[in-house]
Amino acid sequence: MNLMRVNQIGERGLVFGFEDPFFTNVYVIIGDRRVFVCDTFCGSESMKAIVDYLQEQGHGNLPFVVFNSHSHYDHIWGNSYFEGAPIISHHECPGLIDSEGPQALIDYAAHTKGDVSLVKPNTTFEKRLVYIEEEVEFFHSPGHTIDSASCYDRRDKVLFVSDNVESTMPYLYQSNLQLYLDTMEGYLEREWKFLVAGHDPVLKDDDLLRSNLAYLLKVRDWSLDIEDLPRKARAYHFHNIATIGEKMEAKDRSKEMLAHLQNAIDYLAGQDETDQTRELQKRLESVIRS
């Protein structure tokens, strides 16, 4: 079992950290009447470890409510373990699982942890869903993906943002940067003591959030100098700008944007050729040609 650690935050929050195939958090709130499980990682094995731990701690009699922060496989593959439980998400999430989930099962088969089947959320919302008596709020927070949603524990002041905040930079699967910027500004306006991201240690300050926001602002304005990025982060940035270009109408692509994409192509042309650099260059060139 690849359970890495259990970290208590606040009076009723538990963060379960998994390290294989990559560091990932599952956030659990022990409510008065329910246990809320935020994201279900890569399969039933990981979820069984969490439930076994909760039972050992005397929380086995409470019903589960599952929350999927977005449709990506490493956040939903454990859904099937919670048979009969409410599984909550933004209303865009089930459709994305339908369209992208079967291919992910093939592409990332090596990442499965126990049994995996595609179980979609059965309770969806458009803007927010609140369990008032539990002081737990789920709300739409588009950014990393268009269906991204977050969880806020109003009692403990814990904000679970999943992959909307990530080191060293956000990873984009949608092109509406203004929506993402609005989400990040909203995070800054909330009162929180702990911020739980999908793939980083629990945060007690807003440094990474502000760093991600600064990056997104520069991408929006196409003012980012590629050479200013850490070398290891450049491939992530090239993925991001390719995604923006692919999802944007040709008429909406500014001269500044196209110039930035061309700079990225020129940079990649000067690097050692790998499958990754070839694929990124191909994507960027396709955007410029279209």
Decide if pLDDT at 1 tops 70.
no
Among 10, 5, 8, CA closest to 192 = 10
**Sign of the C-alpha dihedral computed for residues 191, 180, 128 and 195 taken in this order:** negative
Same domain, 110 and 241: no
Domain housing 195: 3-218
How far is it, in rounded angstroms, from Cα 258 to Cα 2? 44
Instruction: Mark which of 165, 185, 218 sits at the end of a domain.
Output: 218
Among 63, 4, 3, 16, CA closest to 202 = 16
Same domain, 188 and 211: yes
Same domain, 105 and 228: no
Q: Is the peptide bond before 168 cis (omega within 30 degrees of 0)?
A: yes
Instruction: Mark which of 218, 237, 265 sits at the end of a domain.
Output: 218
How far is it, in rounded angstroms, from Cα 116 to Cα 31? 27
pLDDT band at 156 (very low <50, low <70, confident <90, very high): very high
**3 state DSSP class of 9:** strand
User: Cβ(30)–Cβ(14) under 8 Å?
Assistant: yes
Decide if pLDDT at 216 tops 70.
yes
Same domain, 235 and 170: no
Element (H, E) at 281: helix 275-289
Rounded average pLDDT over 106-133: 97
> Could you give the angle at which helices 234-247 and 207-221 cross, rounded to 10 degrees?
50
Counted domains in the chain: 2
Same domain, 50 and 183: yes
Same domain, 117 and 235: no
pLDDT band at 176 (very low <50, low <70, confident <90, very high): very high
Please tell me the predicted confidence (pLDDT) of residue 60. 80
**3 state DSSP class of 39:** coil
pLDDT band at 3 (very low <50, low <70, confident <90, very high): low
Alpha helices (H) along 39-164: 44-56, 93-107
Instruction: Mark which of 218, 245, 270 sits at the end of a domain.
Output: 218
Q: pLDDT of 21-75, one tens digit each?
A: 999 999 999 999 999 999 999 999 999 999 999 999 999 889 999 999 999 999 9
In this prediction the pTM is: 0.96
Sheet containing 64-67, strands listed edge to edge, beginning at the edge strand earlier in sequence: 3-9, 13-18, 24-30, 35-38, 64-67, 87-90, 123-125
Please tell me the predicted confidence (pLDDT) of residue 238. 97
Q: pLDDT of 73-98, one tens digit each?
A: 999 999 999 999 999 999 999 999 99
Contacts of 264 (CB under 8 A, 6+ apart): 226, 237, 238, 241, 280, 284
Same domain, 89 and 158: yes
